[in-house]
Structure 1
């Protein structure tokens, strides 16, 4: 196991969206997952650890997970941005990324389009993209098998699940995707959601009221 890989988190913006930084203490490279807001805080966290921002990975395109992206792109021109292939228009269209509902309409683009099951070799470790549509049609989780981490976005929460009443949402797709793609992971997998506290796959299999059959 690569003990140099660490995970840091902070809740950002009015929606208290969890942004995660995963860095390699040896190479000093770092990835930012879901920079929801307050880009200056993200940069402060990176600088405090002596990390260099290598890329941004998005679990989905909703405004509260991406609002700091333009700021980070200003700080590092050419910054790679990863997004699932089914989520491209969600990030691009203000009516889908919800910026038209909650503020100034913003259209954004990603330049690294990823697919379900694709393994990204970053930070000298492997990160698997797990496509779980339902909160949005191109929502993904990022699985660090070696570290036992799942960055889940708004797919799976502690004893809850993501909302499905926004554009491109689908309740049945979300529930089946969680059961078929996430609940097959080891029970001790740490789940880092887009909001609220972390949990584990095992705990959610036993206690999540949306997923446990009565």
Structure 2
């Protein structure tokens, strides 16, 4: 999938055993890119960037479960001092292999982010303002990235097409997730396009109307 709205383009590639949606947002004018949730196959991500003729300038994590971070060690290794964005409440999840579930698949992933964000904080990526929306529930530090000028919401495993993220893993909380989606995401413009970690794109309006978990 590729969505083009000058000067930014949004690309999606499915990575790893969980086929996690990794989003690559590219600014063609500056030839720079930001990767959201490098689920696996860091080499494939870098090959994609090379093919597109762009340079990786940052990684943004919606949360720290293994299937969203397995490609990160490689990206950090080949990109010195790579900015890695993560919500402040998710730091110990990224650090702890039990919390990030990497031990569940026979791995030991323990990493640190170097750009810690807070709820409502506005960061600049690729020359555009992006709002960090803390939506706890799937994990305690889950965060969605909202490109208001483009109407894009990169939601990770918070909100899916007609579904929501699981809450039975460590730090999950169903009531917190439902409350946060209703109070923080469903107030966005209904035409906002939602790009999730595991389902096709949807919109805020469509989920308000038809998501069975939130009716």
The TM-score with structure 1 as length reference comes to 0.97
* Pairs within 5 Å for 1:184-199: 184-199=187-202
What is aligned with 2:156?
Answer: 153
What is aligned with 2:25?
Answer: 22
* Pairs within 5 Å for 1:2-13: 3-13=6-16
Q: Within 1, Cα distance between the matches of 2:44 and 2:109?
A: 21
5+ unaligned residues in a row in structure 1: which ranges? Answer: none
**TM-superposition CA deviations, 1:78-130 (whole Å, max 9, x none):** 11101000000000001100011122212111011100000011211011000
What is aligned with 2:62?
Answer: 59
Q: Within 1, Cα distance between the matches of 2:44 and 2:12?
A: 11
Deviant stretches of 4+, over 6 Å: none
**TM-superposition CA deviations, 1:110-160 (whole Å, max 9, x none):** 011100000011211011000000000000000000000000000000000
Residue 122 of structure 1 is aligned with which of 108, 122, 125? 125
RMSD (CA atoms): 0.8
Q: Within 2, Cα distance between the matches of 1:203 and 1:27?
A: 34
Tell me the number of residue pairs that the alignment of Structure 1 and Structure 2 aligns.
211
Q: 2:74 aligned with 1:71, yes or no?
A: yes
**TM-superposition CA deviations, 1:57-87 (whole Å, max 9, x none):** 0000000000000111111111110100000
* Pairs within 5 Å for 1:135-150: 135-150=138-153
The TM-score with structure 2 as length reference comes to 0.97
Residue 98 of structure 1 is aligned with which of 94, 97, 101? 101
